[in-house]
Amino acid sequence: MTENIHSHNPAAPGSAIRNGGRGPARPNPADRTQLKQHPISLKRIAGLFTPHKATIAVVVLLISASSIIGLAQPFLVRHIIDVALPGKDLPLLGWLAAGLIGVAAATALIGVVQTWMTTGMGQKIMHTLRTRLFTHLQRQSLGFFTRTRSGEVQSRLNNDIAGLQQVITSTATGVASNLTTAIATAIAMVAISPGLSLLSLVVIPPAVWFTRRVALLRRNITSTLQSELATMNTQVEEGLSVSGVRLSKTLGTTRRDAYRYTESSRRLIGLEMRSQLAGRWRMATMGLIFSAIPALIYLAAGLPATSDGMTIGTLVAFTALQAAIFRPIMSLLDLGVQWVTAMALFSRIFEYLDLTPEITAPAQPVPLDPATVRGEVRFEGVRFAYDGGTEVLRGIDLVLPSGSSTAIVGPTGSGKSTLGSLVPRLHDATAGRIAIDGVNVRDIAPADLTKIVGVVSQETYLIHDTIRENLLLAAPHADDALLWSALASAQIADLIAGLPDGLDTVVGARGHRFSGGEQQRLAIARTILRNPKVLVLDEATSALDNATESQVQAALDRLAVGRTTLTIAHRLSTVEKADQLAVLAGGAIIEIGTPGKLRDAGGAYARLVEARETVEFEDHDTEALARLTA
509 in the same domain as 581: yes
Residues 582 and 585: their CA atoms lie apart, in Å, by 10
Residue 285 has pLDDT above 70, yes or no: no
162 in the same domain as 28: yes
Condensed to tens digits (0 to 9), the pLDDT of residues 506-537 reads: 887 666 778 777 888 888 888 888 888 898 88
Q: Is the dihedral of CA 102, 104, 105, 108 positive or negative?
A: positive
20: alpha, beta or left, given left = phi > 0 and alpha = psi -120 to 50? left
Neighbouring C-beta atoms of residue 17, cutoff 10 Å? 23
Distance set, CA 240 to CA 256, 258, 265, 542 (Å): 14, 11, 16, 35
> In the prediction, which pLDDT does 109 show?
93
Domain of 222 in residue numbering reads as 194-309
Residue 213 has pLDDT above 70, yes or no: no
555 in the same domain as 605: yes
Yes or no: say if 295 and 207 are a contact pair by the CB < 8 Å rule. no
204 in the same domain as 179: no
Residue 183 has pLDDT above 70, yes or no: yes
CATH (domain of 615)? 3.40.50.300
75 in the same domain as 106: yes
| Number of domains forming the structure of the chain | 3
Residues 345 and 158: their CA atoms lie apart, in Å, by 11
Q: Which of the listed ranges 137-146, 256-265, 319-328 does the model predict with the highest average pLDDT?
A: 256-265
174 in the same domain as 60: yes
Neighbouring C-beta atoms of residue 569, cutoff 10 Å? 23
67 in the same domain as 21: yes
Residue 219 lies in a domain: yes
125 in the same domain as 257: no
Condensed to tens digits (0 to 9), the pLDDT of residues 553-582 reads: 777 777 777 889 898 876 676 777 888 999
Residue 579 lies in a domain: yes
417 in the same domain as 557: yes
Residues 107 and 184: their CA atoms lie apart, in Å, by 15
299 in the same domain as 168: no
513 in the same domain as 490: yes
Residue 365 lies in a domain: no
522 in the same domain as 507: yes
Residue 88 lies in a domain: yes
CATH (domain of 76)? 1.20.1560.10
Residue 571 lies in a domain: yes
Residues 447 and 434: their CA atoms lie apart, in Å, by 17
pTM greater than 0.85 (yes/no):
no
Residue 318 lies in a domain: no
Strand order in the sheet with 377-385: 391-400, 377-385, 431-436, 439-440
Residue 369 lies in a domain: no
Residues 510 and 454: their CA atoms lie apart, in Å, by 20
Residue 326 lies in a domain: no
